[in-house]
Each structure stands twice: as C-alpha cells, then as structure tokens.
Chain A
C-alpha cells in the first residue's frame, strides 16, 4: 500500500476544499487534497453561478451579507478571469411587498452593501425584457461566476505552491488513535489502489458529505443536505443578474451565465446528498416565478434542469431549511468532540469560500503553534489554461478569426477538437470531466452529437480497451439525459427525440459492448427521488407543457 505523509490533508475538491488547499500551500504547509470524483463534481459544479453582493441576505441574515460583500470585492480582484461583472438588479414586482424596498435599502446600508436605487425606466432600458410592471429597482454589485474555472484556478495555484491534488480518490476510513485523527485511508478509484495518508491536520471540506466524513471519526456534524433546483434557459434573456427584492424564496434569482440564463432556485431538505430527483412541480414553480421577472421566459426553450445540494449547517435539527443561516461554520473537533487533528469547515456559500479557507487555516496555524498570515486575498489566481472565461462573443470571435469551424466538436458550445484533445491529455477521466473543462455537451442538444465525436477522440488519444470508451460514452449520455427528464416538452422534447433516434437508430448505442460493467466513476443514473413533503407538492394539472 502506498503511504503518504503530509501536514494538511483536505477532503473534498469543491470550492472550499481547493480554497483550503491553496491557502494551506501558500502558508507553506505540505498539502494533499483528495476528491472522490472530479473537481467541482459536487455542489460547486451544480450551482447557479451567482457571485453574491450580499443583497439577498441583508434583511434576514446580515452576517452572511457582510461576508458576501467582503468576499465579492476580493474575488473580483483575485479572479477576474472567472467572474463576469454583470451587475445585479433587485426589483419589486407586483407580487412583492412594496414596503420591503425601504427596509432593504436600510439593511444594505447597515451591512455595507452598495445599493443604488435606479428609476424603473432606467432599469427597463438596461434590461428590456424585465417585467415592465416592476415598482422599484436597486442596482447592486452581483455578478456571474464560473465555479468550474474558479476551482481549477485554485487547484492550479495550490499545485504551484506544492500541493498535491488527487481526484477520483475516495476516503474510506479515518485513522484514529487515542483521540487523534492521524490519517486517512483512501482508495484510488481509477487504479483501484489503497493509499494511507498520515497528516498533522485533516480538513473535512466535503460539503454536503461533511456529515459522513465526520462520522468516520465518530463525530456528529449536522449538515442538512438542502436540494436546490435550477433551470437553464436556452437564451441569455438578460445580461444582468435579476433578483426579486423580497425575503429569499424559491425561484427569485435569474443569473445570466455565458450562453444561458439560470432561474433558481428551490430549497428542500433531502435525506441523502446523493439521492434526489427533480420533480415536475419544481420546474413549473421556477418557470412561473421566472415569468414574474421576465415575462415570456417560460415560453423560451428550456435547456436543462439540475439540482445541487447545499451543505447547510445547523447545530440543531430544523424543519425549514430557509431558516438556516447561510454563514459558514468551522468546527474544531478537538474542543467540540475531543478529537484532535480534525476540523470541519462547512456551510457558507460559493461567494465566501475563500474566507472559509482563511479562517480554517488561521485555526490550523493556532493549533500547530505557527504564525503564518493568510495571503490568498492578496495574490491573484492564475488564469486557467483550459476553458478561459469568455464574455459571450469571445468563442465565436475566436472561431471566426481562426476559421476553425470545421473542427468544432461540440457545436452548441463552440468547442474545438484541439481543446477537447488538450482536456483529455491533461487527465480528464470521464467525458463528464471533459465537459467541466471545456463545456462539451452543455448546449441545446445536450451531447446528442458531440458525445460520439468526443468518445472517438478519447479512444484515439488513450487507446484503452474499447469497452471503456463505450462505457464513457454511455455514462455521459445518461448523465446528460438526467437533466432533460424534468423538462421534456416543446423544443427540448423534439431535441431529445432526435437524440434518441441517433442513439438508438443510427448508432445502435444501447448495444455497445461494455463487458457488462458499470462505471465506478460516475453517478448512479436514475436515483430514487426523495421528493418534497406532500404539503409542498403542486396541485395536479400544473404541467409545464
């Protein structure tokens, strides 16, 4: 068995984990990060892409609002390449309480969140598709962020400072001795090997899975997995983040991100972060709410629906997840559970990931009795080599100037063959990993065409047993279809039917030889739905079609 020794072992390759790994490495600690899938495979890669100004929380959760605006400023400085400065509008629609506006403005001032009221006419000029019936509009510094890029940039920076980032490495056990967590046993899922890592400190940054990891050390951490459903529209209907100016509720944010806009989100407790589905009523609700922000939205083509699971942290069990603060929590299991060498950082939001890493490392420094100040807010992150953040026109302009149209592998997202080759050569394991790197298959046809081309490329570059490539192809298409099941009407139903005909009729892909194996590297396909409580189900007959 391979053995490793390190100062800090980080469990979890989302924004928090990579942020912690970067901070640790920058402070001179030997650092290893393990992630059981690909970076951002969990919550980070499934969020709506909103860089919070804090406006959403000023009234109900001022602590979180203050964290957001502080980090918003820092992130804009250290990762301009992962953020689009769309700006945000908080608007009072006819469905919202007009009195909330003044309360909102006062709360923004109290939290130090810049908020400028603009005339309704100016807001409509800025966003012509905004509901003309809005009564007030406030401009706040919201933005759109690419969590894939940002996480990669953090990992890249951590590596540059000597950290080791290991994806497809699953923690199977924490190694305990006399009230000390001294290491972890880890399974390399690709090579099917066991590794033992000895670490001075283990950071549990497993997000919605943090409770499970803590349990491996016998600690009880009450992480509430709260499912949030999001729906991407095929159009970038707006160019500014739109928020309803009211207390946070379902379906009150519309985020323009690259070629699409995402209406989000819902908030429902699920029993298991890996077992959840999307219900038709959730999609209906989001579209109905979106329609209040942008009339006509529900008539545009729906691209995909997906869900992420927030790691909400609460010391006590609670019934309504919206009541749980969006602030983060650092749990020192030494003082809390008499378990040394083990901390959990959980809760929070993507926007506050860096601060979470900072407080984690501050605590670790105190524990280890060293004084090494945080520098993550001072130094800019490296620009990711693959899949640079683009403003909307950039990929098209690149293709146009280079005349690369013949080499488009994913036509919807304008991904050229050489970019996919680079992603494969850089170590993407599954086609879904390629997707996260270059956005392959994320457009309207949801992999209906490009999957076959990408699979061919994978085979050509790697020359594995062909059954492995077949499996990669099947896995990827199943994963894509998962996001279509809840939105099968209109244009996306036509698309799915065409994709199905290609899959079954032209490619005969359901008979591809896979040696009877299932991939250990991707999710199980059709998970049982936990569903919301009966009282929250929509009445019958609210079919979005």
Chain B
C-alpha cells in the first residue's frame, strides 16, 4: 500500500480540513476534504467501478493537507480518485486534455503567436471554447509570447566547472511560452549571485496532467524530465524553478501520485527547490548578494497554495523584505481560486472566482500598486480578479538588483 493510501489511517475526523477548504466554503458541489478524502477512500476498491463524482470539484489546492494535524494526504487521495474516475468513465474529457497540455499548445502556437493569440482571445473563439469545450469564456487564459525562453539554446555547463556554483534552472511551460521575461530575470538573479545557470532540455513537469486525471501521459513527461535532470543532480547540481507548481511536482507530487519510487526520482526530488527557497538558503549561508537598490513601493504578496504545499514558509516574502523601502503586505488568504486549471473550467469558474474574492478584495483594499505571487496561473487570476498587475518575486529581486524593471510595471 502506498503512503498516500495508508495516510487515511491518521484521520481522526477532527474536521479542520473541512473548515479550511476553500471550495467547500463557497459551493455545495464539493462536500469537503474529509468526505472526499479519507472517508470516501475507505469505499474505493481496486476492483469494481469508481463510485466518485464530486471529487472532481476538489481544486487540489492542498490547503487540507497543510492544516491536517495528522498528515493525511487528502489532496493526493483526491487526485488519484479523480484519475480513477476519469479512467472508469471512458477517459479524460478533451477539455481537460487540452488544459493538461500547456507544453504542446505552446509548441504549436508560439511560432504563430500573434495569430494564435488572436484565435484564442477573440470573443467568438472564447464563446466557442465555452460552448464546445467547457472553458469558461471569462476565464483568464494566458497569451503566447513572441519569443520563447531561453530562446536560442544556451548552456554554459561543462563537466569541468565547479558543481557547487552550478544550478539547474527548471523554467516550466509558462516561462517558456508565455512569460519568458521571468526566466530571464531568474537567470540574471542567479548569475548576479555568481551561479552558473544550466538550462537543460525539459518537458512539462506533468502537474497539469496529474490534476486533470491523465496519469499515464503524466508519467511519460515526468520520466522525460528525470532522464535529463537526474544526471545533473547526480553531478551535484541543485535544481531550481520559478514555477512553484513545477518544483512541487518534481519534489513530491509526481513521485507520490504516480507511485514512481526510483533512485533517480528521489535524487531529483531531493535536489529541487523553489527559486526563492533556494535564494533564502543562500542568504542564510551568507552567500546572497544583498546589495539591493531601494524600491519605494508597497506590494501585496500572495503566497499561492502550491507554494504553501512546499512547507518552506514564505521565502519570497523573506527575500523581498531585504529590499530597502519595499513594503510587503501578505495576503493571508490560502487560495486565489484558479488552482492550476480548475478555475478555467466552465462548471468551476464561478467557484474559483468566489474562492478568490476575499483575496481580490484584499489586494484592492491594500493600496498596493501591484501584487506579487510565485505561481503563474495565480498571477493571471489575480490580474483577472483585480485589474492590477501581478509579478513574480524574482522580477522584484531583479529590479532591485538593477537588472531591469518588471514588464508589468513598464507596461503599466
């Protein structure tokens, strides 16, 4: 039995997960983590058809895991049940397949980015996508970037260089196809701190597929990443990422959900950090360049649910507090409601927006000019919910190092 399944033994039905669950607070369609997780799990048999329906309304935000005093892996139980449910009901719907394939979409669309953006974002297409696919026409879809990250392949890695100064950057699909400037900021900040940045070829981390119930496809992407990342980890490189969901997937989601327990997987997991987590460690070791230029502004920082799931505190906020003049207001809300691709789906859009509303209100009432958030989908959702720009914390750091103003500010 896997750890995920066995973890239900720890549930004492204390109900904390229910009282903290963002979707359960705003909709009756999700009966809550205790019900869908450890309780329902006792009735799921490896034989016989999947009995589930409502578990699809779990957003996978993992707030339940975080508040559970006993360590029940509720979100993972739900993700597995959802995958099983789709498998038993004739497969994952086309919509979920599309949403799970950000990499494929990016690869197809970026050579014709302006056309793709036009095709994707005009009202007629949105209406069609809504009616045919079930992607809500109001949902915050990203725009393809003209340039991809890292652009022309660059890798300074040579086996002879010092592995202790070498760091592997996992950029993820969002940076590659939608927000290449975040990758550039990340590389600039790492290099500013004397690191040699290796950008190996990489796949989608597989999280969108895991959360959309396509475990078999996810396994191929995950294995692909292990093939390139494991040798680098073996050579002593740390792996950092700016997409907090990608790093979480490499750290634990993919090995746990896919029950892929391998030496390579364990090595990659142990070597992976969120970029801010990594920089905080550098700082603690006295190795971070703290010559930050003052930024006289106040920002609202939202720690996304996917970062909280790392259980590393709020390293982005800790780093930003090193910047003179910068006021960091923390959102203190657990989830923006988008939860990866959850809030894009027609039947869940309103739930996602209702989950995010207290956060949107907080952003708007804080008086901050912009919000800062580690997760791309959350930034898109916060912009959608507030109309204010949102940036990755690494952009703030790069800005303060004098390595360029965030694009959102320049545009703003």
Contact = CB atoms under 8 A, between A and B. Distances in A.
A450 B12 CA distance: 13
A400 B53 contact: yes
A545 interface: no
Interface in B2-24: 5-6, 8-14
A400 B54 contact: yes
A445 B12 contact: yes
B11 A444 contact: yes
A498 B12 contact: yes
Interface string A396-434: 110011010110100110100000000000000000000
Interface string A478-512: 00000000000011001100100000000000000
A395 B35 contact: no
B70 interface: yes
A220 to B, nearest CB: 47
Interface stretch (A113-121, A229-237, A354-362): A229-237
Contact of A239 (B9, B45, B49): B45
Contacts of A259: 42-43
B389 interface: no
Contact of A392 (B31, B48, B52, B54): B48
B160 interface: no
B51 A394 contact: yes
B45 A494 contact: no
A405 B48 contact: no
A393 B43 contact: yes
Nearest to B13: A445
Interface residues on A, range: 35 or more
B39 A494 contact: no
Given A401-B53, A405-B31, A408-B35, A393 B12 contact: no
Interface in B29-46: 31-32, 34-35, 39-40, 42-46
A251 interface: no
Contacts of A236: 42, 45
Contact of A400 (B11, B42, B52): B52
B97 to A, nearest CB: 24
Contacts of B40: 396
B35 A392 contact: no
Contact of B12 (A392, A400, A494): A494
B50 interface: yes
A449 interface: yes
A403 to B, nearest CB: 8
Nearest to A397: B51
Given A400-B51, A405-B54, A412-B39, A392 B44 contact: yes
B1 interface: yes
B263 interface: no
B51 A235 contact: no
A495 B12 contact: yes
A443 to B, nearest CB: 7
Contacts of B261: none
A449 B9 contact: no
Given A400-B54, A498-B14, A392 B1 contact: no
A239 B44 contact: no
A494 B11 CA distance: 9
A135 interface: no
Q: Which of B32, B34, B44 has the most CB of A within 10 A?
A: B44
A494 B70 contact: yes
Interface string A501-535: 00000000000000000000000000000000000
Q: Which of B32, B46, B51, B52 has the most CB of A within 10 A?
A: B51
A300 interface: yes
A235 B13 contact: no
A461 B31 CA distance: 27
A159 to B, nearest CB: 32
Contacts of A411: 13, 34-35, 39
Contacts, number: 94
A448 interface: yes
Q: Which of B12, B28, B46 has the most CB of A within 10 A?
A: B12
A218 interface: no
Nearest to A398: B51
Interface string B43-85: 1111111111110000000000000001000000000000000
Nearest to A302: B9
Q: Which of B34, B35, B70 has the most CB of A within 10 A?
A: B35
A406 B28 contact: yes
Interface residues of B, number: 31
Contacts of B10: 301, 491, 494
Contacts of B11: 444, 491
A392 B45 contact: yes
A391 interface: yes
A271 interface: no
Nearest to A491: B9
Given A406-B28, A412-B42, A393 B35 contact: no
A129 interface: yes
A233 to B, nearest CB: 9
A393 B31 contact: no
Given A396-B40, A400-B51, A296 B1 contact: yes
Nearest to A303: B9
A299 B31 CA distance: 30
Contacts of A395: 43
Contacts of A405: 31-32, 35, 54
Given A300-B9, A445-B12, A391 B1 contact: no
A502 to B, nearest CB: 10
A392 B44 CA distance: 7
Contacts of A396: 40, 43-44, 51-52
Contact of A448 (B6, B13, B45, B52): B13
Contacts of A414: 39, 43
A392 B13 contact: no
Contacts of A445: 12-13
Contacts of A397: 49, 51
A301 B9 contact: yes
Contacts of A391: 45, 48
Contacts of B54: 400, 403, 405
Contacts of A412: 13, 39, 42
Q: Which of A259, A296, A393 has the most CB of B within 10 A?
A: A393
B6 to A, nearest CB: 7
Contacts of B1: 129, 235, 237, 296, 300
A393 B44 contact: yes
Nearest to B45: A392
A491 B12 contact: yes
Nearest to A448: B13
Contacts of B31: 405-406
B9 A234 contact: yes
Contact of B49 (A237, A301, A393, A494): A393
A408 B1 CA distance: 28
A449 B34 CA distance: 14
A447 B271 CA distance: 45
A28 to B, nearest CB: 42
Q: Which of B8, B42, B47 has the most CB of A within 10 A?
A: B42
B13 A449 contact: yes
Contacts of A234: 8-9, 42
Given A129-B1, A234-B42, A392-B45, A300 B6 contact: yes
Interface of A: 129, 234-237, 239, 259, 296, 299-301, 391-397, 400-401, 403, 405-406, 408, 411-412, 414, 443-445, 448-449, 490-491, 494-495, 498
28 contacts: A234-B9, A234-B42, A235-B9, A236-B45, A239-B46, A299-B6, A300-B1, A391-B48, A392-B45, A392-B47, A393-B44, A393-B48, A400-B51, A400-B52, A403-B54, A405-B35, A411-B13, A412-B39, A412-B42, A414-B39, A414-B43, A444-B11, A444-B42, A445-B13, A490-B9, A494-B70, A495-B13, A498-B12
Given A259-B42, A405-B32, 5 more contacts: A235-B42, A393-B43, A400-B52, A405-B31, A444-B13
Q: Which 3 A-B pairs have the closest CB atoms?
A: A301-B9, A397-B51, A393-B51
